[in-house]
Amino acid sequence: MRERTKMGVEGQTGEADWDEVKQAFYGSRAPGTPSPTLSGRVVRLLAEPRHDCLILGPPNSGKTALLSSFSQASELVDHRDFQAFAQGALADLKEWAHRHRHDSASWAPTSHPATYSLQVTIKTNAVLMQVRDVPGKCFFPFVDTWWNDLTPDERYAFSAPNLVLCIDSLEPQPLWGESLPKILDRLATNPGPPIPRLGSPLPPQDTEYPCLLPPKRQLPFKRVLVALTRIDPLIHEAIQALQNASEILSPLIPRSLKPEELARRIDPVCLVLEQVGPVLGQIRSALAPEAELAVGITSAWGFELEPWVPFGVREALLFLADGCCEGPVTRVEPDSSLQAVSGRWTDITDDFPTNTSGGQR
């Protein structure tokens, strides 16, 4: 009989036993260092299927472009308390983005799932974040056969603590309403407490069938960020519209309006509602009670080609790594309303200073 192998113990093991060893290793929540024998036995341990962040979104929604800007977002003088260091494939992706971001046609859609590593340092605390980028065609539109054909390791990659859903703020895909319920259903797990069935309240009725309590299903994520990507062309279109109407609205708008200033005045929740509908309510209803939900406005390329200054990306990483919400990232509280009060996603006239003659400064 072959000797079964535990973590750090030498010996021979069969395929079934080895699957148990891998499951115990991947499922462990405590840090561990595999023994040289174990590392040599399976090189796949170096590519652990568990990830720290999962990025999903329709094709051409800016997922990979957002990833390429992660480390670029920290290369600013006034962000010394935040650093992001790209490693491996992400460093190559960033270098490729430097060469191709001027030509959007050269940015090819992601064809296969890929993993990127990023070292994030907030003040003195450093963490390694492994991000899984999934091609949009895999989920939008959702196909059951694709999900059913995933291997256990591939499916385990979706149980990351952080989830980023990318929505193209300029051209939102109509597939959200069709695919999102199916995606949430497949990603949900059964870790919650037992709940009674509506037709079988406790105590159980006098019947030969016992009253079984099913587990509460919920998403495994601790933090979910809905990232409104490609905000830069939307802002440029808005500014152009304001300039065209300047003769009529000149007393109401500032003479010089910076794109960053206008972008920071957008209500992210209202913009999501306007572009794709009530997706936030669907996500919040599937989250665990202690999970955090936020909406962020981002631009991987920023508002000027040179220098490359991403917008909202640093704040998105702060939320994913530390749960901090600031700038264009807004937390959605569990008891907050998800309805647009004014019917518009922003009002550019709020808080702009005016001079005594009624014109703008």
* pLDDT higher at 33 or 39: 33
The confidence score (pLDDT) of residue 316 equals: 96
Instruction: State yes or no: pLDDT of 112 exceeds 90.
Output: no
With a threshold of 0.75, does the pTM exceed it?
yes
pLDDT score, position 81: 83
d(CA 136, CA 90): 19
Residue 357 pLDDT level (bands cut at 50, 70, 90)? very low
Q: What is the pLDDT of residue 201?
A: 60
Res 87 pLDDT > 80: yes
DSSP H helical ranges for the chain:
15-27, 36-41, 63-68, 89-100, 144-148, 152-156, 176-187, 231-244, 246-249, 259-263, 268-276, 279-286, 313-322
**311 inside domain:** yes
Q: What is the pLDDT of residue 335?
A: 74
- pLDDT higher than 60, residue 190: yes
pLDDT tens per residue, range 195-254: 887 776 655 556 666 677 888 899 999 999 999 999 999 898 888 777 776 666 555 556
| Confidence check: pLDDT of 22 > 50 | yes
Q: Find all residues with CB under 8 Å of 280, minimum gap 6, and list them.
A: 226, 269, 272, 273, 293, 295, 332, 338
The CATH number given to whatever domain includes residue 54 is 3.40.50.300
Best-predicted range by mean pLDDT among 71-75, 102-106, 140-144? 140-144
Concatenated DSSP letters of 41-99: H-GGGGG-S--SEEEE--TTSSHHHHHHTTTGGG-STT-TTEEEEEETHHHHHHHHHHH
The pLDDT of residue 11 is: 43
By CB neighbour count within 10 A (0-12 exposed, 13-18 middle, 19+ buried), where does 293 fall?
buried
Domain count for the chain, please give it. 1
Name the residue range of residue 307's domain. 49-192+214-230+262-331
Q: Name which of 171-185, 200-214, 342-356 the model is least confident about.
A: 342-356
Residue 246 is assigned to a structural domain of this protein: no
pLDDT category of residue 262 using cuts at 50, 70 and 90: confident
DSSP line for 144-182: HHHHHT--HHHHHTT--SEEEEEEESSS--TTHHHHHHH
Model confidence band, residue 117 (pLDDT cutoffs 50, 70, 90): very high
pLDDT exceeds 50 at position 344: no
Instruction: Give the model's pLDDT for residue 167.
Output: 94
The whole-number pLDDT of residue 221 equals 94
Split at pLDDT 50, 70, 90, the class of 12 is very low
The pairing of beta strand 223-229 with beta strand 292-297: parallel
What is the spatial distance between Cα 157 and Cα 150, in angstroms, rounded to a whole number? Answer: 10
Residue at 343 is within a domain: no
What pLDDT does 168 receive?
A: 93
The pLDDT confidence band at residue 13, using thresholds 50, 70 and 90, is very low
Q: Return the number of other C-beta atoms located less than 10 Å from residue 143's C-beta.
A: 14
Domain annotation covers residue 205: no
Contacting residues for 242 by C-beta, under 8 A, at least 6 apart: 249, 253, 257, 348
Domain membership of residue 9 (yes or no) is: no
Displacement of CA 305 from its chain's centroid (Å): 25
Express as a percent the part of the chain with pLDDT over 90. 34
Give the count of alpha carbons within 13 A of 149, CB side only.
5
203 upstream amide cis, omega within 30 of 0: yes
Segment among 66-75, 186-195, 198-207, 288-297 with least mean pLDDT = 198-207
Rounded-to-10 torsion of CA 300, 305, 308, 309? -60
For residue 130, being part of any structural domain is answered with yes
Give a yes or no: residue 3 inside a domain.
Answer: no
Residue 304 lies inside a defined structural domain of this protein? yes
**For residue range 154-166, what is the model confidence (pLDDT) as tens digits?**
888 888 999 999 9
Nearest to 321 by CA among 70, 61, 29: 70
Longest Cα–Cα distance of the chain, Å, equals 93
